[in-house]
Amino acid sequence: MTATPWAPYDALLLVSFGGPEKPEDVVPFLQNVTAGKNIPVERLEEVGEHYYGFGGKSPINDQNRALIAALEQDLAANGVDLPVYWGNRNWDPYLTDTLRQMAADGVTRVACWVTSAYSSYSGCRQYRENFADAVAELAAEGVQAPQLDRLRHYFNHPGFVAANLDATADALRTLEDEVGAEKASAARLVFVTHSIPDAMEDASGASAAEGLPGGAYTRQHRDLAATIVAGIAERTGTTHDHDLVFCSRSGPPQVPWLEPDVNDHLTALAGEGVPAVVLIPIGFVSDHMEVIYDLDTEAAATAEGLGLPFVRAATAGTHPAFVQVARELLLERAAAERGESPVRPAVGDLPPSWDVCPPGCCANLRGPRPALCGRD
Ligand SMILES: CC1=C(CCC(=O)O)c2cc3nc(cc4[nH]c(cc5[nH]c(cc1n2)c(C)c5CCC(=O)O)c(CCC(=O)O)c4C)C(CCC(=O)O)=C3C
Ligand SMILES: [Fe+2]
């Protein structure tokens, strides 16, 4: 019998952050997210209000349900006969419960697709620590969890690039309808991602053992931003000026986080006489609370107050090119695990990211903890 193209995998696992579903969930959810972290209580109250403002429900779980439905369709349409599971870090369905179910279903080895495209403690190692914790918890129950392989970071995968490029082009067309071709062609493309502490940025992708310098988080975002700007120039003939800015800063004020903040930046752009802005939330794969509150509510109000025309581009969501990324990465990794040398598509100036993280990469700044899917 010949191996299937997806051997040795017998499942795909969507790994995500989780979010509250109703008002009573908000406080316990925030406690899960911030356990052991130095987040001021005022900041937590403020973020709680963002959730209550949307009925106590984060959009993230429904986004993931829609993504899973799209993944199941995509796999079936392409003859890949694998079940899709879903496990979160901070809310039901929790990773541990999902792995317990997978073990009961007889799953032995699973490709894990994380809803975070870039290197950072939050988007990389913290999930790998969550894997180690969940596997250990099940072992203590006498349950052998399936083997977990984390699919590579996909910020520069052609499918993720295509979804974000399409969204940027659509947003520019919307802007043109609103303000006319002249202003739209002079619009600034403002790429936005989640701010992180400077120290987390310095540790992102860094490996002393392998001489890797860190700073991968912003390097990866800048690479994708440049690719999108070039793609827009190819489509429209206009090379827009662009910036990378940050949203959703938390932590104590004395701890430095990546800047500029999106609101400060919009103010600066209006001061420079920039006629319009397209905001492109490349840091988020779907419309998370950060997108619907920090961008669509807060940053939109800032732009409105400045009289600065502003359109927010869509997130990758269930764009078919994005949905396909999971299947392509799973088949790529499966081939590699079978000892073949698959093509590893990547667009831009950076190489495809690694399958297995180098020692120490995206370090936990509170000290080392067990983590899977890495060589440490
Ligand atoms: C890089 C990054 C991503 C992208 C990569 C990834 O996906 O991981 C991300 C995603 C998300 N962050 C989310 C929510 C929150 N993040 C918080 C806190 C923090 N985020 C951080 C970074 C990131 N966060 C950091 C450095 C902190 C400080 C505490 C710490 O060191 O961990 C807090 C606490 C309150 C606050 O301080 O804001 C909340 C509520 C949600 C769910 C949204 C929804 O409900 O739709 C999602 C997808
Ligand atoms: Fe966060």
What does the block give as tokens for 267?
Answer: 């103010």
> Contact at 8 Å (CB) between 12 and 111?
yes
Q: Is the CB of 122 under 6 A from ligand 1?
A: yes
Ligand 2 centroid distance, CA of 183 (Å): 34
Q: ipTM > 0.90? A: yes
> Contact at 8 Å (CB) between 313 and 167?
yes
Give the position, in ligand 1's atom list, of the atom nearest the Cα of 30: 40
Q: Is the CB of 128 under 6 A from ligand 1?
A: no
Alpha carbon 252 to chain centroid, angstroms: 24
Task: In whole angstroms, give the CA distance from residue 233 to residue 228.
Answer: 9
> Contact at 8 Å (CB) between 318 and 117?
no
Ligand 1 centroid distance, CA of 89 (Å): 11
- The reported pLDDT for the residue numbered 320 is 98
- The reported pLDDT for the residue numbered 3 is 86
Ligand 2 centroid distance, CA of 288 (Å): 10
- The reported pLDDT for the residue numbered 1 is 55
Q: Is 153 annotated as a binding residue?
A: no
> Contact at 8 Å (CB) between 318 and 70?
yes
Q: What is the pLDDT of residues 3-50, one digit of tens each?
A: 899 999 999 999 999 999 999 999 999 999 998 888 888 888 999 999
Confidence (pTM): 0.97
Ligand 1 centroid distance, CA of 33 (Å): 8
What does the block give as tokens for 314?
Answer: 């869509």
Q: Is 127 annotated as a binding residue?
A: yes
> Contact at 8 Å (CB) between 227 and 348?
yes
Q: Is the CB of 19 under 6 A from ligand 1?
A: yes
- The reported pLDDT for the residue numbered 376 is 87
Burial 8-36 (b: 16+ CB within 10 A, else e): bbbbbbbbbbbbbbeeebbeebbebbbee
Q: Is the CB of 56 under 6 A from ligand 1?
A: no
Name which residue sits closest to atom 11 of ligand 1, judged by CA. Answer: 17
Give the position, in ligand 1's atom list, of the atom nearest the Cα of 197: 26
- Residue matched to tokens 């988080």: 217
Closest alpha carbon to 93 in 153, 14, 10, 34: 14
Sequence-distant (≥ 6) Cβ neighbours of residue 145 within 8 angstroms: 99, 100, 102, 103, 134, 135, 138, 139
- The reported pLDDT for the residue numbered 40 is 86
Ligand 1 centroid distance, CA of 44 (Å): 12
Ligand nearest to the CA of 192: 1
Give the position, in ligand 1's atom list, of the atom nearest the Cα of 249: 38
Ligand 1 centroid distance, CA of 246 (Å): 13
* DSSP label at residue 314: P
For 139, phi then psi, to 5°, come to -60, -40
Ligand nearest to the CA of 204: 1
Closest alpha carbon to 183 in 287, 43, 277: 277
Task: In whole angstroms, give the CA distance from residue 188 to residue 98.
Answer: 43
Name which residue sits closest to atom 38 of ligand 1, judged by CA. Answer: 250
What does the block give as tokens for 323?
Answer: 């949905």
The residue type of 226 is A
Task: In whole angstroms, give the CA distance from residue 100 to residue 343.
Answer: 33
Q: What is the pLDDT of residues 126-167, one digit of tens each?
A: 999 999 999 999 999 999 999 999 999 999 999 999 999 999
Q: Is the CB of 17 under 6 A from ligand 1?
A: yes
Task: In whole angstroms, give the CA distance from residue 113 to residue 13.
Answer: 6
Residue 245: strand pairing partners: 192
Name which residue sits closest to atom 25 of ligand 1, judged by CA. Answer: 196
Q: Is 194 annotated as a binding residue?
A: yes
Q: Is the CB of 47 under 6 A from ligand 1?
A: yes
Give the position, in ligand 1's atom list, of the atom nearest the Cα of 118: 5
Domains of the chain in start order, with CATH, are: 11-154+318-337 (3.40.50.1400), 158-312 (3.40.50.1400)
Q: Is the CB of 184 under 6 A from ligand 1?
A: no
Closest alpha carbon to 319 in 155, 160, 156, 111: 160
Low-confidence ranges of the chain (pLDDT < 70): 1
